[in-house]
Structure 1
Amino acid sequence: MTMDSTLALDVEEIRAEFPILSRLLHDGKPLIYLDNAATTQTPTPVLEAYSDYFNRYNANIHRGLHSLADEATAAFERARDTVREFLNAERVEEIVFTRGTTEAINLVANTWGRANLRAGDRVVISEMEHHSNIVPWQMLSTELGFTLSVIPVDARGVLDLDAARSLIDERTRLVAVNHVSNALGTINPVSELAALAHAQGALILVDGAQAVAHARVDVQALGADFYAFSGHKIYGPTGIGALYGRLELLEAMPPWQGGGEMISKVTLTEGTTFAAPPHKFEAGTPAIGEAIALDRAIRWLTNLHFELVTEWEQTLLSHTTQRLESIDGLSLIGTAPNKCGVISFVVEGAHSQDIGLLIDQFGVAIRTGHHCAQPLMQKFGLDATCRASFGVYNTLEEADQFVDALGRVIKMLR
């Protein structure tokens, strides 16, 4: 794609759409929000779409014949098609709404996994996975007896592809990896891992929670068999996300939860037949307003031009990294050459929690802790790091204010 050279990202105009960014904290200090890897803020158009559903056409979907139900159903299914287009899935039936990435991965584990994994099989994950892409496979491995193998990372936080080639063998049934590490920002070579998996007859599941807001995702080009993401990582609401699954896989998978909407016919004597995908996996009343707001969030973001978003966040990453490297005693954790806008660091002689609490007094919101990636922390011999993560609304001035505030905090702790 050739980008129009006259296009530019107007960050101040973008910021004006986020009322929360004008908030003052701690005696009038402006909020500097750098916790976007945990949750992004939500722009006014998304808030309005959510409110509009409840104010004008709040109704349950799919089963009603009245006007409000028709409008709600149409809006909900438009949201599904927006997700399909966003991920470049081939068919709308390949998009299952979930509560988020965690539920999507658990859905695959408890449907495809239970139906297909046996003792002697192998599931391959990586050392940098979020707990939501570790724990479901550990639980299932304990029950079914398959082997859970781990691709290591090097000192930079880069996957060891030679080890991956060795681990992904004829016993492998699934490779489950994140697209971008939430703790390090490393962008993983998903298409190469997909090719390795497919060459052995295995599938690949991709945790896309940290990728979708920062660069274009094309599930067909990546070769993903399953791809999961969460709405609250992409300027949308919590409690909504989606699972992409190739249609032939979804058709073969059993349902996970039983209830309304996921059935074709229920009888007390002859059992139940189930609906076709995606409804087979969407038991009960879904998060209707949240799905409609997710639709608006995706359209809001894509209208900004993804190439510009990616370029701006890389500018923020490069600028801030260079400034942090000059701080005595500060060590960056995760220095992969291919990264998203996530910076993890530790400071000699200072606990990460103390840094997080003190820098908040300057109005700066960062994340501290193990980032739901304890095995990765153990790899680096750490209990926790500080993490600053960027969104499209962050500015170079905020980056400088963050670094300056960090310097003051470090002086306080020494």
Structure 2
Amino acid sequence: MNKKNTNNNFKTDFPFFKNNPDLVYLDTAASSLKPQVVIDAIKEYYEQYCINPHSQDYQLAIKGNDIFEDTRKIISKFINSNENEIVFCPSATFAFNQIAYGLEKYLQENDEILLTNLEHSSLLLPFYRLIKTKKIKIKFFETNNQGVITIENLKKVLTPKTRIVAFANINNSLAIENNTEKLTNFIKDYGQKYLKNNDWVFKNILVIIDGTQSIAHTKTDVKKWNIDFFAFSGHKVFGPTGIGVFWGKNEWLNILEPLILGGGMNDCIETNGRFSLLASPTRFEGGTQNIAGVFGLGAAIKYLLSIGMENIKNHQISLKKYALQQLTKHLSNNIEIYSDNINSSNIIFNIKNVFAQDVANFLGTQNICVRSGTYCAKLLSNTLNTSATIRVSLYIYNCKKDIDLLVTALKKGINEGGDFLNEFF
């Protein structure tokens, strides 16, 4: 942990708070704030390098490429993978589109893909499109009342036609962590026993994990989990926007067709229309990458590691306990909380008889940043039985004072007539 932050005063590492001293930021699930070291790394690229790693004929380009590839090494160690399995891409959304596109040619009519109602649109829609192009079937399996995937519910939907199971190990709403290793082993055991289709090149059910929310909150171990694909966005883990990562087992990556074709990822191009692709990860990184973003992401992962995943988790648990105590103590007659598990970094709630967006907009007038709606998880209402909610998402730079200001603002909205609209009319 950084010595200057032994008292959890991490706000000093983030220029956002210096430039916005009156704001309470409770929207990390949408995007994390950026520490100075990440901003400095991006600035360093543009000021000292500003080169294309594809150029290798001069020393500055070679050095810049070394930093680029060092980030790949850092991430591979961070998630416990092989280095050549780490692919840079614009976002997790891009990654899931790439994965679905690459798998499309191997799917047959009536093959089944299993998802939950809590998944982000970025994971749902790339597979939804395959309903039209390949006439596959999408099936949903339930979570328990805390949003956790159970083996009992998986048993109800797995069939010999199941080809893919995809889910977030921590979703962006209720944010409860799934036991990915246990679930994957059960899925793989089922596939090994019942999968009889010799046309399926993967020979077992593929497990795809959305790590966009979990990457900054809990330890990732793709080898231990025994999964097949994993992806996350840099901006959720202190990094810049416009950079993401996807991982896949090397044997799978090298049989997937890339979504994007361009320079740097091909081995040869012939005049007869034939071309060949390089091996992973280069085959998926056509064109000039977001080099500054990779520099920033490398600094972000280093910063995260300097804090320690266990310290982050302990801080979140302590802060969420306090938040739940204060919300229930001061607003018990007016609030409905949907996520009271202390291991979650999110609090999902509504003020009774008030539309969620009205509350969120009111909080905005009080300099408190939260999110309302369904958080790009359009099927969330099927689980919560309400059309929209308010999300407070906590992270290492939040403190008890932030919670106190949130409670004070909510009490103000309730005491001024309870409709939270007085600030606007």
TM-score bracket, normalised by the shorter chain, equals over 0.9
* C-alpha distance in structure 2 between counterparts of 1:339 and 1:229, whole Å: 21
**CA contact 2:89–2:246 (8 Å) conserved in 1:** yes
For residue 374 of structure 1, give the secondary structure of its aligned residue in structure 2.
Answer: coil
Q: Quote the RMSD (CA, aligned, Å).
A: 1.8
CA positional deviation for 1:179: 1.0
- Whether contact under 8 Å (1:123, 1:149) holds in the other structure is yes
Contact map agreement 2:150 2:183 (CA 8 A) in 1: no
Does residue 31 (structure 1) correspond to residue 27 (structure 2)? The answer is: no
- SS of aligned partner of 1:16: helix
**Equivalent in the alignment of 1:397:** 401
Match of 1:278 among 278, 281, 284: 281
Aligned AA for 2:402? E
For the structure 1 residues 209 and 331, does the alpha-carbon distance in structure 2 shift closer, same or farther, using more than 3 Å as the test?
same
Secondary structure class of the residue paired with 1:394: coil
In the alignment, what sits opposite 2:301?
298
Correspondent of 2:180 among 183, 186, 190 = 190
**1:383, CA displacement in angstroms?**
2.0
1:117 aligned onto 2:107: yes
Which structure 2 segments of 5+ residues have no match? 192-203, 419-425
Q: Which residue in the other structure is 2:67 paired with?
A: 75
1:11 paired with 2:13, answer no
Equivalent position to 2:348, from 344, 359, 370: 344
Contact 1:168 1:196 in 2 (8 A): no
What SS is found at the alignment partner of 2:177? coil
Contact 2:13 2:35 in 1 (8 A): yes
SS in 1 for 2:307: coil
Q: CA deviation at 1:248?
A: 0.6
Aligned positions, number: 402
TM-score scaled by structure 1? 0.93
Secondary structure in 1 aligned to 2:254?
A: helix
Measured after TM superposition, the shift of residue 203 of structure 1 is 1.1
- Separation (CA, whole Å) in 1 of partners of 2:30 and 2:347: 13
Question: Which residue of structure 2 lines up, in the alignment, with residue 331 of structure 1?
Answer: 336
Match among 95, 105, 130 for residue 104 of structure 1:
95
Aligned amino acid, residue 101 of structure 1: A
Report the residue type matching 1:21 in the other structure.
F
Q: Is the 8 A contact 1:22 1:31 kept in 2?
A: no
Corresponding residue for 2:33?
A: 41
Flag the 1:390–1:53 CA change in 2: closer, same or farther, 3 A. Answer: same
Task: Measure, in 1, the Cα distance between the counterparts of 2:384 and 2:28.
Answer: 23
In 1, the alpha carbon distance for the partners of 2:8 and 2:267 equals 49
Distance in 1, matches of 2:417 and 2:208, equals 43
CA distance in 1, matches of 2:74, 2:300: 10
* CA distances 1:247-297 after superposition (whole Å, capped 9, x unpaired): 111112122211101101111125101011001011110000001100000
Whether contact under 8 Å (2:117, 2:382) holds in the other structure is: no
Describe the superposition over 1:159-199 as per-residue Cα deviations: whole angstroms up to 9, x where unpaired: 34312122123211111000111011121221122112212
Query: What's the CA shift for 1:24?
Result: 4.2
Gaps of 5+ in 1: none
Q: Take 1:7 and 1:85, find their aligned partners in 2: how far apart are those partners? A: 26
Larger deviation, residues 125-134 vs 186-195:
186-195
Q: Which moved more, 1:248-257 or 1:173-182?
A: 248-257
Query: Once structures 1 and 2 are overlaid, which stretch shifts more, 261-270 or 47-56?
Result: 261-270
The equivalent residue for 1:307 is 310
The answer to whether the 8 Å contact 1:80/1:92 transfers is yes
Match of 1:234 in 2: 237
Taking structure 2 as the reference length, what is the TM-score of the superposition?
Answer: 0.91
Partner residue, 2:366: 362
Query: 1:160 & 1:215 partners in 2: Cα distance?
Result: 19
Amino acid at match of 2:101: N
Please report how far the alpha carbon of residue 379 of structure 1 lies from its aligned counterpart in structure 2 after TM superposition. Answer: 3.0
Aligned equivalents of 2:376 and 2:392: distance in 1?
Answer: 15
